[in-house]
């Protein structure tokens, strides 16, 4: 039983039918043991350190520790494809008209521009205590059905993520593994592995990647991302956040992002990664690399939630065949999102929790969401609750949630002090 939604996705002088396939996993005790779950990103200007602001490791109260979330152009044609799986084969009422809904197993999946399928919900692994990640990853994969794991070199837990994947007993081939290439860190998310290239490694992509592969105990990644479009001095006074004598971030202004992307394409061609993408790239930054790119980024991971929906950028990404991926889907620690009047209203209307609505809202819009927890009950409820919400939300609900930012509630929670113009709307002046 399949419902199809067809439309045209154009890129430059080529138009192709955009198709998405979605299946969802039905909620068995979908609201089990749930409290409002918050992200732990802190806004710039707070007591959060640079590492916390960029890597999402802000200080948490003890009781909040596991409630944090981290949670081509030029005439190319694309096929946008999403899948959402439910054990009971419930049909999701997908909002995005560019998506085709079908049934499948393993949770929602969105087809990338290279034909690979990425699970629409992933397990975040940042800010977890030593010893917690392995159990959380194994449980999420084996008991709940996650197939996308989000981690990072900077988190210091890649080895645990790899151990958790192996402990799950599920074949590596069934897991989507993505990693972000940031200055010196990679971050795997969901079932599969994702990691990121940190700024201080922009000139040494393969070297950074090899470290991550060794940490994870795998010979390839499903997804590798450039964490920030900010090359940092690789010979600076700090491996993550080098500073100039005047106290400003030591940005390597001589390095060209296009060269970073060429190296990303090279490791893809070598087979060390299956898919490459970016993170925290605005339209302006993407336009720096797209004109010369052989391979269009498959994913752009961004801070996306009801208070920072970035409608214009998301529309741009989809026009280029780039799938948006949301970190901080619940905002930050003590964020107002879960208590927002409209969010609470929509949740009550459908018998959901506000957290379900916040994550399901993104999935229903064809955006990959990355909530985080190490508590089994919450790992399960984050998954089933969000998919239930994605199934139940109606077009009017999506429209109302889409309008919250424009109604004066626009807010970013992640604004690290990069002394460069990133090209985002609603970004505080930090130059």
Give the orientation angle of helix 205-216 with respect to helix 158-168, to 10 degrees.
50
User: What is the number of residues in the chain?
Assistant: 431
* 321, 76 contact by CB (below 8 A): yes
Tokens coding 345: 């209203």
**Catalytic annotation on 191?**
no
With tokens 């972000």, the residue in question is 180
With tokens 């991971």, the residue in question is 301
Give the residue ranges of DSSP H helices in 172-310.
Answer: 205-216, 257-269, 283-289
With tokens 């200055």, the residue in question is 183
How far is the C-alpha of 417 from the C-alpha of 248, rounded, in Å? 9
Catalytically annotated residue among 139, 155, 189, 224: 155
Tokens coding 228: 């920030």
**Cα 22 from chain centroid?**
18
**Residue 138 half-sphere exposure toward CB, CA atoms < 13 A:** 14
Q: Please tell me whether residue 72 adopts helix, strand or coil conformation.
A: coil
How far is the C-alpha of 181 from the C-alpha of 197, rounded, in Å? 2
Give, as one character, the DSSP assignment of residue 22. Answer: -
What is the DSSP code string of 142-211? III----EEE-GGGT-HHHHHHHHHHHT--GGGSEEEEEEESS---EEESEEEEEE-GGGTT-HHHHHHH
With tokens 């956040």, the residue in question is 241
Active-site residue set: 155
């Amino acid at each position: 039983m399949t419902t199809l939604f067809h439309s045209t996705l154009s890129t430059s002088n080529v138009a192709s039918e955009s198709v998405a396939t979605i299946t969802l996993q039905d909620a068995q005790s979908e609201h089990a043991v749930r409290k409002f779950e918050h992200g732990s990103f802190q806004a710039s200007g707070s007591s959060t350190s640079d590492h916390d602001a960029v890597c999402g490791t802000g200080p948490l109260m003890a009781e909040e520790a596991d409630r944090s979330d981290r949670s081509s152009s030029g005439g190319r044609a694309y096929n946008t494809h999403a899948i959402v799986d439910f054990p009971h084969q419930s049909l999701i009422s997908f909002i995005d008209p560019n998506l085709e809904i079908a049934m499948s197993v393993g949770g929602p999946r969105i087809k990338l521009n290279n034909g690979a399928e990425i699970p629409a919900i992933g397990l975040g692994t940042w800010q977890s205590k030593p010893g917690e990640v392995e159990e959380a990853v194994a449980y999420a994969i084996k008991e709940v059905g996650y197939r996308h794991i989000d981690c990072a070199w900077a988190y210091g837990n890649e080895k645990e993520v790899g151990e958790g994947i192996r402990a799950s007993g599920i074949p590596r081939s069934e897991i989507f593994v993505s990693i972000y290439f940031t200055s010196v860190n990679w971050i795997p998310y969901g079932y599969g592995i994702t990691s990121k290239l940190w700024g201080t490694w922009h000139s040494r992509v393969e070297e950074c990647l090899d470290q991550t592969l060794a940490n994870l105990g795998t010979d390839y990644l499903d997804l590798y991302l450039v964490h920030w479009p900010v090359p940092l001095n690789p010979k600076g006074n700090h491996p993550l956040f080098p500073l100039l004598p005047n106290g400003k971030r030591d940005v390597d202004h001589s390095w060209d992002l296009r060269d970073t992307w060429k190296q990303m394409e090279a490791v893809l061609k070598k087979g060390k990664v299956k898919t490459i993408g970016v993170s925290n790239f605005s339209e302006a930054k993407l336009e720096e690399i797209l004109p010369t790119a052989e391979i269009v980024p498959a994913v752009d991971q961004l801070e996306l939630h009801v208070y920072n929906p970035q409608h214009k950028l998301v529309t741009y990404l989809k026009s280029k065949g780039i799938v948006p991926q949301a970190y901080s889907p619940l905002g930050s620690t003590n964020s107002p999102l879960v208590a927002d009047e409209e969010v609470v209203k929509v949740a009550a209307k459908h018998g959901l929790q506000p957290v379900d609505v916040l994550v399901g809202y993104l999935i229903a819009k064809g955006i990959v969401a990355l909530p985080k927890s190490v508590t089994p009950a919450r790992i399960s409820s984050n998954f089933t609750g969000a998919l239930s919400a994605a199934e139940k939300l109606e077009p009017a609900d999506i429209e109302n949630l889409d309008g919250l930012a424009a109604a004066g509630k626009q807010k970013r929670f992640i604004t690290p002090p990069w002394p460069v113009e990133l090209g985002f709307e609603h970004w505080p002046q930090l130059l």
